[in-house]
Structures are given as C-alpha cells and as structure tokens.
Structure 1
Amino acid sequence: MSTEARQGVVPHARGRAVTSRVGDDDRLRVEWSELADTEIVLRHLEPADTEIVLRHVETGEERGASDLTVLSVGIWMASYRGEPVATDDPGFSLDGLWSYAETRRNREIRAFRTSLGTLGLRVREVEPYVEVIRVIADDGVIAVEGAVAYGDPIRGEARLVAVARRGPEPVSGPATFQGRWVEGAIEIAPMAEAQVRRRVFWDLYAEISGVRLPLATRLDDITDKKIKVRFPAQHVGQVRVRPYYTETDGLAVALSVEEEKP
C-alpha cells in the first residue's frame, strides 16, 4: 500500500474517496483509492490540485474546491469531470468536529456522504454557543456540562439562565466558565412556581457579562434528537418538569400541569 502524493492526478473512475473531510482551516482534503491489479493504492490530494467542482443544489452556482470560504450558505455537491465524487467517508469524526468548533468562526463547512454515497458539503452560518455534553435532571435541579463552540474561551463565574418563551421572568442558577468548559445548574422549583398556564417552554442559556450563549448539542451524528433523546421528568407538586431537545437541537425545558388523579 502506498501513500505517496500525486500532484494533479485523479484516480481512474473505479477510484473512490476513502476520506473526505473539511479541516480546521476550511480546506477540503480527499484521500483517493484506486484498484491497481490486486493492490489498493491510496493517494492523498489537495482539491487545489484536482478539478473537483462544487455545485450549489438550489442555485446551480458552480465553484472550484480550492477555496471553500467563498461558498454561500446551502448544500454543495462535488463532482469530477461531470461525475459525482463517490466517497466511503460519512464525514463524521467527533474529535475532528470538536477541533473544528474550537476555532472562532461565523460559518461552518462540513463534508457529508449522501444517501447515494456521494460527497457533499453543507455550509451554514453559526454563532457561539455551548455544546452540551452532559445533562442531569435529578434532585430538584437541572445540571449541565459542556464547552464553548465557535467562540473564544471564557473564564469566570456565570449563570445558567432559563428564559420562558411566554410569561414568566427568567430564572437563573450558578455556572462557571473555565476556558471552553462550562458547568452550571438551575433549580426547577422557581420555574414551577411561575407556572401560569398548563404548559410553558423555557430555553436554556449560559450567561456571562450580559452575553447569553444558547445551550445545544449539534456536533454529534444523532438526528431528530427531539424524538430520540428522552430525559427523566421531575415533579414539583402537579407540575411536570422535563428537559428536551428542540427541532434545532437546542436544550430546553417543558413544564406541564398534570391533572389530579381521581
């Protein structure tokens, strides 16, 4: 097996992209495979040395792959000589995504494998937030641990803030930033005591110096978290309190008044 670089050469049509990832520097790196007799040869190529073309799914705009920073928001499909680029790489590496998220940026560019096994790039705007790693709902509190994504490291005492979408005033609890790491907890009783309707939804934030960072879990490969991920419920009297993920993978809390049992 050989890993020598070949400049300006793309394998025969039988070749596939073994890996296709966007690095911290927003450059697409592709490692191609080519069947040569009974040996699989790997060739690592930079897109600048190939003729990979990216095409925007909605607008039809075409761009080269040498500079991803000029890509507009949306889905881009990769092709070479008019043929989609086949890839074996799902584009997912948690370590790689964590490393990417540790860089301050306002746009995220992520490679992915389509259902047809071809290479695509997803470009979206991002703002700093807290990537939630752990949620504990027990003993009258909701506690979270996470890390700052797409923003600068922060140090100092902070607050975990629950903001109702309608009605009650915000409720907060203690939190701490240590570089990128964040820990915080909030009591559920004040939220339940402010319950004025049958159901109230609260969004969670980490706040320091007047700046609120939303809590969310977006770096993993779990889709439809709102349906698939279930946290345990707690009760304050007749009020049921349960954390949940929104459709955009934000962390929120639902409070519902349960009817008394006869």
Structure 2
Amino acid sequence: MKPHAEITEVWPRDGLIRVVGRIHGVPAVGTWQLVLTRRSHADLRLRYDAAVKGDRFASELPVRDLAASGHAPVEEWDLHLTDGEVELRAGRHLDDVHGKKKIFVYPEQRIGELRVRPYFTIKDNLSLECRTGGSA
C-alpha cells in the first residue's frame, strides 16, 4: 500500500471539520500540516497545524475559511497531510470497505449560502464538497 494519511475519524460539526488518523508508510517525525487544495485552482491551498503523537494525527479546519475563499456553484477540495517534504493524500484504505462514497454520508454545514460536507471519493480518498445554493 502506498504511503498515505489513513483517516480513522471525521467530525463535521460546530463550524469545524476535525479529522483524525494515522500516518501510514513514512516516519511520522517533525511538524505536520493538514493541507486543503482546491481542485479547480491547485495553487489555492489552505494549511492547518496537525498534532502528531507517534504515528497518529489530528487536525481541524474552520468551515468559514472555505467561505472566505470564494466559490463557483460547486467546488471540491482535496485533503493531504504534509511535513514540508512528503505530501500524503488523506483517505481510508486499510479497513477493507470499498466504495465509501456511497456508504459514508457526512452532514453538511452551512456558512451563509455556502454548504460544506466531507465525502469519500471513488478512490476512497477524503475531500470536501462546497456548494452555493441547494444542498451538498
């Protein structure tokens, strides 16, 4: 299995999205950050400190930061964990549950007209969907 940030918990509530997991396949030393990359504009990135203890990590992001970045009607953000040298895609691959996109449905949070919800992609990676107007 390729190195990645294995997500074990996703908590979308109270204006925050908290992710918890394990660093898989590389040493978990140094300072790590959770990085959100806007799919339609890969140069637009948001960074948040990640607390690391052993190979476990936890980080959270305020949903309001996504609202401040401006949006098309639908935008997607991909989550990675980085120590500045290695960038690991965040996903859930070690649990033998495939097709999480149709199984795990997280609640959306609303900031003004923007609705944000975490979701698993067809490759079982974790991303965020942001919509203006109707439900995410």
The alignment's TM-score, normalised by the length of structure 2, stands at 0.90
CA contact (8 A) 1:173 1:187 kept: no
Q: % of aligned pairs identical?
A: 29
Residue 53 (structure 2) pairs with residue 165 (structure 1):
no
Residue 152 (structure 1) aligned to one of 26, 35, 46: 26
Unaligned ranges ≥5, structure 1: 1-125
Aligned residue number for residue 121 of structure 2? 246
What code does the residue aligned with 1:186 have?
Answer: L
What code does the residue aligned with 2:71 have?
Answer: V
What code does the residue aligned with 1:191 have?
Answer: L
Alignment of 1:209-248 (within 5 A): 209-248=84-123
Structure number with larger C-alpha Rg: 1
CA–CA separation in structure 1 for the residues paired with 2:104 and 2:70: 25
Q: Secondary structure at the match of 1:192?
A: helix
Aligned residue number for residue 197 of structure 1? 72
CA–CA separation in structure 1 for the residues paired with 2:6 and 2:117: 19
Runs of 4+ in structure 1 over 4 Å off: none
Cα displacement string for residues 164-188 of structure 1 (whole angstroms, at most 9, x for unaligned residues): 1113711121102222111111122
Unaligned ranges ≥5, structure 2: none
Q: What number of residue pairs does the alignment pair up?
A: 133
Change (3 A) 1:210 1:192: farther
CA–CA separation in structure 2 for the residues paired with 1:131 and 1:158: 14
CA RMSD of aligned residues (A): 1.5
* Bigger relative contact order (CA 8 A; separation at least 6): 2
Aligned residue number for residue 179 of structure 1? 54
Q: Secondary structure at the match of 1:227?
A: helix
Cα displacement string for residues 206-253 of structure 1 (whole angstroms, at most 9, x for unaligned residues): 111232111100111322210111011101100000000000000000
Which is richer in strand? 2
